[in-house]
Amino acid sequence: MSENHYTVKHVEWSAPEADEARRIRMEVFVDEQKVPAELELDSTDPSAHHVIAWDREGRACGTARMFPAAEDPGCARIGRMAVVRSARGTGCGSAMLQALIEEARRQGYRLITLSAQTHAVPFYVRHGFVAEG
pLDDT tens for residues 38-60? Answer: 999 999 999 999 999 999 999 99
Q: Which residues pair with 53 in a beta bridge?
A: 8, 62
- Tell me the C-alpha distance between 63 and 76, whole Å: 17
- Tell me the C-alpha distance between 50 and 66, whole Å: 6
pLDDT at 4: 60
Structure confidence by residue, pLDDT tens digits, 69-98: 988 989 999 999 999 999 999 999 999 999
